[in-house]
């Protein structure tokens, strides 16, 4: 598995390209803008993008979706709750693609590309439909869990107690060596967050 991180859009969101190194099949997570940079990286890797996975519906993670789908014809996937908020034009949500996402995700859904399986973990709190993706020893956490912090909960549909429960029940139970790839900032591990994240200390 090869993982490429790009910092995209005016808010500096992390976009990830995750590729099966044998077949070159790949997914793109959270294309928040700068699609020219994303497609350049895809071309350099020789990747064949079949899915665009979205951790949540905020515009800093979705702005590049329509353009990237037009280029790759990839299947766009997001939770129903956040797809609904984008469709309704809720503040800070979207844009996505006309008619909404191609596939609506729920807890324990599995997106498979070649030998890689992305397990969907429902983690509301930052948004009502926040979703993390676990693959091998990695988890892509969007704006649910950061290195040393958590996602904001003061936007539409956010809730502090909900995001804390999501993290504790869905993420901290993962193996401590699991690498955390967040929606902003550097990577971490589940063990580091258990030990030092100030929001997760009882």
Q: Tell me: the pLDDT tens digits for 72-128?
A: 999 999 999 999 999 999 999 999 888 889 999 999 999 999 999 999 999 999 999
Average pLDDT, the chain: 97
Q: What is the pLDDT of residue 96?
A: 86
Output the domain CATH number for residue 58: 3.60.15.10
Which tens digits make up the pLDDT trace of 131-165?
999 999 999 999 999 999 999 999 999 999 999 99
Inter-residue contact 90 to 156 (CB < 8 Å):
yes
Query: Is residue 43 exposed (0-12), middle (13-18) or buried (19+ Cβ within 10 Å)?
Result: exposed
Indicate whether 168 pLDDT > 90: yes
pLDDT band for position 27 (cuts 50, 70, 90)? very high
Tell me the pairing of strands 138-142 and 131-135: antiparallel
HSE (side-chain half, CA atoms, 13 Å) at 186: 6
Cα of 51 vs its chain's centroid, Å: 12
HSE (side-chain half, CA atoms, 13 Å) at 43: 8
Q: What is the pLDDT of residue 145?
A: 98
- CB contact set of 72 (below 8 Å; sequence gap of 6+): 28, 42, 49, 50, 52
- Arithmetic mean of pLDDT, 21-39: 98
Terminal alpha carbon distance of the chain: 35
Q: Which domain holds residue 12?
A: 2-200
Cβ atoms < 10 Å from Cβ of 146: 22
**How many structural domains is the chain composed of?**
1
Which tens digits make up the pLDDT trace of 169-198?
999 999 999 999 999 999 999 999 999 999
Q: What is the pLDDT of residue 88?
A: 93
Indicate whether 202 pLDDT > 80: no
Q: How is residue 36 written in tokens? A: 């020219």
Torsions phi, psi for 3 (to 5 deg): -120, 125
């Amino acid at each position: 598995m090869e993982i490429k991180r790009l910092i995209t859009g005016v808010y500096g969101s992390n976009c990830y390209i995750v590729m099966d190194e044998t077949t070159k099949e790949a997914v793109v997570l959270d294309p928040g803008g700068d699609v020219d940079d994303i497609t350049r990286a895809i071309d350099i890797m020789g990747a064949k993008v079949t899915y665009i996975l979205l951790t949540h519906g905020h515009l800093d993670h979705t702005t590049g979706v329509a353009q990237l789908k037009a280029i790759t014809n990839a299947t766009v996937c997001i939770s129903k709750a956040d797809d609904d908020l984008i469709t309704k034009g809720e503040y800070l949500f979207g844009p996505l693609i006309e008619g909404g996402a191609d596939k609506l995700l729920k807890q324990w859904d599995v997106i498979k590309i070649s030998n890689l399986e992305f397990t969907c973990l429902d983690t509301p709190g930052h948004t009502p439909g926040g979703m993390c993706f676990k693959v091998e020893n990695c988890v892509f956490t969007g704006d649910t869990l950061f290195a040393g912090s958590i996602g904001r909960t003061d936007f539409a549909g956010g809730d502090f107690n909900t995001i804390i429960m999501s993290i504790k029940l869905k993420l901290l139970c993962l193996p401590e060596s699991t690498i955390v790839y967040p929606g902003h900032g550097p990577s971490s591990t589940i063990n580091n967050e258990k030990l030092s994240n100030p929001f997760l200390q009882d």
